Structure 1
Amino acid sequence: MTKRNKIIYWIATLWLSLGMVSSAIVQLSNVQEEVDMFTRLGYPIYFLSLLGVWKLLGVIAVLIPKFPLLKEWAYAGFFFSMSGAVFSHVVSGDDAKAVFGPSLLLVLTVISWFFRPADRKMIFENP
């Protein structure tokens, strides 16, 4: 892995982790603005806690060494969660401001996944 790719990976991964942890804290704290948004989007309030816990566990999985399968699942969860958030905001007619945060986290998820080092990837052997 080149030095440039390592830098890209770590910048994207750290920003992704920061975004996921901060949004998880907001969701686990049941901040009224977040509760109102989830209600408006049609999601049950208990989903806030579920997403918050999954995001924290996903960040841990992405940052710790080894466990490449667990990392794949975490990246997949981030991708599904953020693409679902983008879709939910767009379908509900929200403005670009509401779509920006999840879109940024979606892009960071893809960049972090794409540039991850070889020791953080699944290795598939031919039978």
Structure 2
Amino acid sequence: MEKRNKPAGRASKITYWVATLWLSLGMVSTGIVQLMKMEADVDLMTRLGYPIYLLTMLGVWKMLGVVAVLVPKFALVKEWAYAGFFFAMSGAIVSHLAIGHGAEELFGPSLLLLLTVVSWYFRPADRKVVAVNQ
């Protein structure tokens, strides 16, 4: 029976790292673009009705979130990073839907939201917050 659990454990670990690396790549690349305040992103933020300084905030938060998710230990900080990624990407989806954007604009944030959930769900035990009963 123990041999049956090992492949599932290995598959979970592979799923975690694939999702986490793609999530990190997506967050870093979009964070860099936001920090650079590229014209297309400035135009998009204006159309969405957000202030331009939000690009800087999102870019910095994404970079810090990636560091938090990738470094060992600091499970509580990882939880906050995953929550931040979840809120940022779900907020992006809602913002695009609110102004009538279609599937093309929804693909990126939807993919990053999915990767956030998959990475969080499959994270190893040493990357989870341990509940302490009092």
| TM-score between both structures, scaled by the size of structure 2 | 0.93
Residue of structure 1 aligned with 2:23, choices 7, 16, 28: 16
> Residue 37 of structure 1 is aligned with which of 40, 44, 58?
44
1:92 and 2:121 correspond? no
Mapped pair 1:117 → 2:117: no
Q: Could you list the per-position Cα deviations for residues 89-124 of structure 1 after superposition, in whole angstroms to 9, with x for gaps in the alignment?
A: 011100100000000000000000000000000000
User: What is the root-mean-square deviation of aligned Cα atoms in Å?
Assistant: 0.8
Aligned sequence identity (%): 65
User: Which residue type is aligned with residue 89 of structure 1?
Assistant: H
Correspondence for 1:74: 81
Indicate the structure (1 or 2) with the bigger Cα radius of gyration.
2
Secondary structure of 1:2's counterpart equals helix
Query: Per the alignment, in what secondary structure is the counterpart of residue 65 of structure 1?
Result: coil
Equivalent residue, structure 1, for 2:34: 27
Unaligned runs of 5+ in 2: 1-7
The equivalent of 1:50 in structure 2 is 57
> Does residue 1:63 correspond to 2:70, yes or no?
yes
Q: Which amino acid aligns with 2:102?
A: D
Counterpart of 1:83, as a letter, is S
- Deviation beyond 6 Å, 4+ runs, structure 1: none
* Unpaired segments ≥5 residues, structure 1: none
Measure the CA separation in 2 of the matches of 1:126 and 1:29: 46
| Equivalenced residues, count | 127
Output the amino acid matched with 1:32. E
